[in-house]
Structure 1
């Protein structure tokens, strides 16, 4: 009888622990903004694949420039309460100041980089649009972030700035990944 009670008690404890484990699992996203984050690793794979096709082209032309455009300060800013606004600004910078000249550079060279650059631009544009549409989800505060230092460095590099910014896309993709993973709801 004692053995029966111990077994019954043990089974009850195991079932209780299992039910707690099931309740602690991550709940599926119901919100389209949350779902975007859950699906973004696929987009990130596409970004990295496209960048792999053009990385050597841009990195070969940016090796003369020692100064990094994207640094730890940017990553720290993305992890701050104002990260959403900063991410929006960096996306705007890439979509306005980097991608269009990169496409033009592709027309001047014999290497066909435009399909990859276009794909990267399209995914970044979609992400920027989602960031705007999902402002509440991403907790976008109204504080303005200035990218003047980055833009000044970029401008001082002249045409080489495009090569540098494009060469650092892999780092930017890592920053996007870290930013979005921090926004995942557990």
Structure 2
């Protein structure tokens, strides 16, 4: 009897959660809204690709104490200037980190790194196209992260790649805040 009561409670909870989720789903009329609403599946792709390379980069990342992606970046992504910040961070990864990671990695890593790069490229392109939707305003300067990355020399790639999971969380937080 207790089992059936528990089963009923579980079914009720699932039904309520499903109904709540359906009620909150936005009805998008444009490409920008659709991008934000469908991004959870892309985020899953990012995390899946990173899972394949995480251990290698995080093992080598332990050698460096300085963080590239810290709390100040998360705060920038919560500000009215978040769109520009996101574009700058994506540009940093696309221009510096991912090419260096591809060049220095074994052949098993090229596909996951390429997948991450393709999604980042699509995101950057969408942010440019949807700058009014995302209210892009410029203040964030990527130079602090870029100069720290360059100062780390060849170890900077390990640090930046090792922190991709942090970036994924920041991206998720940013885009969740843009959902309607």
User: What range is the shorter-chain TM-score in?
Assistant: 0.7 to 0.9
Question: In structure 2, do the counterparts of structure 1 residues 168 and 27 end up closer, same or farther at CA, with 3 Å as the change threshold?
Answer: closer
Please give the secondary structure, in 2, of the residue aligned with 1:113: helix
Out of 115, 122, 128, which is 2:124 matched to?
128
Q: Report the equivalent of 2:64.
A: 65
Question: What residue number does 1:81 align with?
Answer: 80
Gaps of 5+ in 1: 1-20
User: Shift in Å at residue 151 of structure 1?
Assistant: 1.2
Aligned equivalent of 2:166: 171
The higher radius of gyration belongs to: 1
Q: Distance in 2 between matches of 1:27 and 1:90?
A: 27
The change in CA–CA distance for 1:25 and 1:37 in structure 2 (over 3 A counts) is closer
CA apart distance, 1:25: 5.4
Aligned counterparts of 2:75 and 2:140: Cα–Cα separation in 1: 13
Deviating beyond 6 angstroms after TM superposition, the runs of 4 or more aligned structure 1 residues are none
Provide the aligned length of Structure 1 versus Structure 2: 159
**Distance in 2 between the 1:81 and 1:34 partners?**
18
Q: CA deviation at 1:27?
A: 4.3
CA shift, 1:82, in A, is 0.6
* Root mean square deviation, CA, Å: 1.5
Give distance in 2, aligned partners of 1:146 and 1:30.
33
The aligned residue for residue 100 of structure 2 is 101
Deviation at residue 144 of structure 1 after TM alignment:
3.7
Gaps of 5+ in 2: 1-19
TM-score by length of 2: 0.84
Distance 1:48 1:25 in 2: 24
Structure 1 stretch displaced more, 59-68 or 40-49: 59-68
1:66, CA displacement in angstroms? 0.8
TM normalised by structure 1 equals 0.82
Which residues of 2 match residues 131-142 of structure 1 at below 5 A?
131-141=127-137
Match of 2:46 in 1: 47
